[in-house]
């Protein structure tokens, strides 16, 4: 039984109240009703899930504009053995928040989570080119710190939820550079793989045994040979030596699928070590029929081969 099917009595996520992480978590009824453990950083969230202080850790892992949330991904790859239970994708809406009476003319400093600040670069350049920028642990922490400081010369980039929670005013709304901006979150647990739903995703990390010409092509050929579609391919330094990389791969399908299981087995046997990060329901649909047909064809081929091998005389 997966962790998401078991009790979710404690869920750890990045605080304080009002973060985008909290907004995403509240879209999941079971997680919203659970007891919440608010953490000061993403590594602390994953540590809480790993050491048992929380049943689940819930964290951002990828943004459509800024890419991977490296601190989360590296912790999953190198520091903890956690399994992804589900993914949640929400639209990102960022606002410029200030104390009552504040305006663009009074702002001399902008604070926020660095990823959020980067997503508003064009707005800041055009409207607050001389403002100092400062980092906070989260967008909600920036809003909270502004409310505590009562400094009218400071603004925070944050969410509508944090604006309401900390009694701030909206100086400007929807200041993100790209309106199609989205962030992907994952819930992780120390054990359990959710049952296949027919529209699943599997995440793995492949560590090459040798850095040789064609190594990556050989890994990718295993997926191509089985018509398994990849939705993400990213290299990450292994932190062992300059130029030594591993590969994060997201693929369509579930470890319970024969094609996926056979593919990962082949990669492990021929190409390198594989760290399994989970098979879980995906929010992206559209390839179920293709995957089903491929799996059916593979099963028929396997049955054909088994029938031939059954005729071999035993010595």
Are 147 and 282 contained in the same domain? no
- Whether residues 75 and 186 fall in one domain: yes
Question: Is residue 29 domain-resident?
Answer: yes
What per-residue confidence (pLDDT) applies to 63?
87
Q: Please tell me whether residues 142 and 214 are part of one structural domain.
A: no
Q: For residue 227, what is the domain's CATH number?
A: 3.30.70.260
Q: Are residues 78 and 210 in the same domain?
A: no
Domain count, the chain: 3
Tell me what pLDDT residue 4 has: 43
pLDDT along the chain (315 residues), means of 10: 54 90 93 94 95 95 87 94 95 93 93 90 95 92 94 93 93 90 93 93 90 81 93 89 87 94 93 94 66 65 78 74
How much is the pLDDT for 309? Answer: 78
Within a domain: 314: no
If asked whether residues 99 and 217 sit together in one domain, one would say no
Q: What local confidence, expressed as pLDDT, does residue 178 receive?
A: 87
- For residues 158 and 211, membership in a common domain is answered with no
On whether both 107 and 163 belong to a single domain, the answer is yes
Q: Kindly list the catalytic residues.
A: 183, 185
Q: Which domain holds residue 200?
A: 193-306
Do 65 and 116 lie in one domain? The reply is: no
What's the pLDDT at 16?
86
Q: Which of 159, 192, 225 is the last residue of a domain?
A: 192
Same domain, 296 and 199: yes
> pTM for the whole thing?
0.80
| pLDDT value, residue 288 | 54
Q: Return all residues near 102 (Cβ < 8 A) that are at least 6 apart.
A: 152, 155, 169, 171
**35 & 131 share domain:** no
């Amino acid at each position: 039984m997966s962790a998401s099917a078991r009790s979710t009595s404690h869920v750890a996520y990045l605080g304080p109240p009002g973060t985008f992480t909290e907004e995403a978590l509240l879209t999941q009824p079971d997680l919203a009703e659970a007891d919440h453990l608010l953490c000061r950083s993403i590594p602390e969230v994953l540590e809480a899930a790993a050491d048992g202080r929380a049943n689940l850790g819930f964290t951002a892992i990828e943004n459509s504009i800024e890419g991977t949330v490296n601190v989360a991904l590296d912790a999953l790859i190198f520091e903890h053995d956690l399994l992804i239970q589900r993914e949640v994708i929400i639209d990102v809406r960022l606002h410029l928040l200030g104390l009552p009476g504040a305006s663009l003319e009074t702002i001399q400093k902008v604070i926020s989570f660095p990823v959020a600040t980067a997503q508003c670069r064009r707005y800041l350049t055009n409207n607050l080119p001389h403002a100092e920028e400062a980092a906070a642990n989260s967008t909600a922490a920036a809003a909270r710190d502004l409310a505590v400081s009562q400094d009218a010369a400071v603004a925070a980039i944050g969410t509508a939820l944090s604006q309401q929670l900390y009694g701030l005013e909206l100086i400007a709304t929807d200041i993100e550079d790209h309106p199609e901006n989205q962030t992907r979150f994952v819930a992780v647990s120390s054990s359990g793989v959710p049952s296949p739903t027919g529209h699943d995703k599997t995440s793995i990390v492949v560590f090459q045994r040798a850095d040789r010409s064609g190594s990556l092509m050989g890994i990718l050929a295993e997926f191509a040979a089985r018509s398994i579609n990849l939705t993400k391919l990213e290299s990450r330094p292994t932190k062992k030596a300059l130029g030594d990389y591993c590969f994060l791969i997201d693929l369509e399908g579930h470890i319970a699928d024969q094609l996926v299981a056979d593919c990962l087995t082949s990669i492990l046997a021929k190409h390198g070590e594989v760290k399994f990060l989970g098979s879980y329901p995906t929010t992206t649909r559209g390839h179920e029929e293709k995957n089903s047909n491929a799996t059916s064809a593979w099963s028929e081929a396997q049955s054909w081969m088994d029938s031939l091998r059954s005729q071999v005389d035993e010595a």
